[in-house]
Amino acid sequence: MKDIAKDLGVSLMTVSKALRNHSDISDETRERVLKRATELNYQPNWIAQSLVTRKTFLIGLVIPDLMHSFFAEVAKGIGRKLGGMGYQIVISNTEEDEAREERHLNLLIARKVDGLIVASAQRSGRADVFQSLEAAKVPYVLIDRMLAGVEANFVGVKDAEVGDLATTHLIEQGCRRIAHIRGPAVATGSGRLRGYRQALARHGLKAPTEYVVCGESGDHTGYEAMRELLLVEPRPDGVFCYNDPVAAGAIKAVLEAGLSVPDDIAIIGAGNVHYSDLLRVPLSTIDQSTTRIGEAAAELLSECMTSKSALPARRIFFTPTVVPRDSTRRLAR
């Protein structure tokens, strides 16, 4: 900028204004400045700019697992929406680790991101991290995983509803001994479990405690958990899995044991990841409007960032729906 100003015999300010086409600059001057700028291949320094404007055009995206299609899809939706508005995304993969998440969140604050979108790995209760967010006045929106006791913007589905829907679907397909491979102790994990129990209760079904086993989040854990479940007597005839990757692993275990999906054991997941339809047995699942979650979160955040006064927290819930495929298609009833 200094060079341009010198070359053109104008002041630094004139250049600055011309470059951002500020109103009060003559067309002629603006032209000259712009011309010289491209000649010199001038690149504005965002750092300096950020320092004075207090705006970085950086959004922090904190998620537990990039490899999980669900989050990758959400990330894509966010990137598209926010990218169009000139923001860039700094991503942080917490690998489902609370301490790591806290560290990264603080780094992002120190970096002065304009906003934050978080699918938190915090186990229920531990919400102190978000205190610092409030203190730092960084607008943020939670996605997918609600945090008990945090009054914050949220976009996602009601977890119990997902569990209820999935379990009810299995019951309608004629399953009577329904097991659940549960997820981590975050809101989604415990909410889906609650929904599962609720659906069973409503239909007067009981499940022994061994019918709820612990997966975590990946296909590998689904496989292991299912093998465990296969040893339980009486053997379940339906399994609701925490998410689609877990369900995919579970299907593998069932088939390996020489049993059929869905005839011996019906399986349903949650999340409707894009490759569910291509699995060993096309997977029935619960759709959560993944892409729209990302987009809605982006929009909500953008409103928070634009508005001068702090807006009241809003919660946007999408309605989950059953996507029936072969893995629960039972002829019998």
Please identify which residue in 41, 52, 312, 331 interacts with DNA, judged by CB under 7 A. 52
| Cα–Cα distance, 52 to 32 (Å, whole number) | 26
Closest by CA to 118, choosing from 300, 326, 333, is 300
Residue indicated by tokens 């992002």: 108
| Cα–Cα distance, 195 to 165 (Å, whole number) | 8
Residue 75 lies near its own copies (rule: CB under 8 A): yes
Residue 20 lies near its own copies (rule: CB under 8 A): no
Nearest distance, CB of residue 131 and its own copies, angstroms: 11
Q: Which stretch binds its own copies (CB under 8 A): 101-109, 180-188, 204-212, 229-237?
A: 101-109
Determine how β-strand 115-118 pairs with β-strand 58-63: parallel
The count of residues in the chain is 333
Residue 44 lies near DNA (rule: CB under 7 A): yes
26: partner contacted, choices DNA, its own copies, none (Cβ within 5-8 A by kind): DNA
Residues 6+ apart with CB under 8 A from 185: 123, 124
Nearest distance, CB of residue 304 and its own copies, angstroms: 20
263: partner contacted, choices its own copies, DNA, none (Cβ within 5-8 A by kind): none
Nearest distance, CB of residue 41 and its own copies, angstroms: 7
| Cα–Cα distance, 166 to 188 (Å, whole number) | 14
Residue 106 lies near DNA (rule: CB under 7 A): no
Please identify which residue in 34, 36, 49, 174 interacts with DNA, judged by CB under 7 A. 49
In the bound state with DNA, the residue whose beta carbon lies nearer, of 15 and 150, is: 15
Buried/exposed code over 43-55 (b: 16+ C-beta within 10 A; e: otherwise): eeeeeeebeeeee
Determine how β-strand 285-287 pairs with β-strand 321-323: antiparallel
Residue 11 lies near DNA (rule: CB under 7 A): yes
Residue indicated by tokens 């044991």: 257
Closest by CA to 271, choosing from 174, 190, 168, 159, is 159
Contact residues toward DNA (CB under 7 A) are: 1-2, 9-14, 16-17, 19-20, 23-29, 44-45, 48-49, 51-53
Contact residues toward its own copies (CB under 8 A) are: 41, 43-48, 50-51, 56, 58, 66-67, 69, 72-73, 75-76, 79-80, 83, 88-93, 106-112, 135-136, 219, 245, 248-249, 251-252, 274-275, 277-280, 282
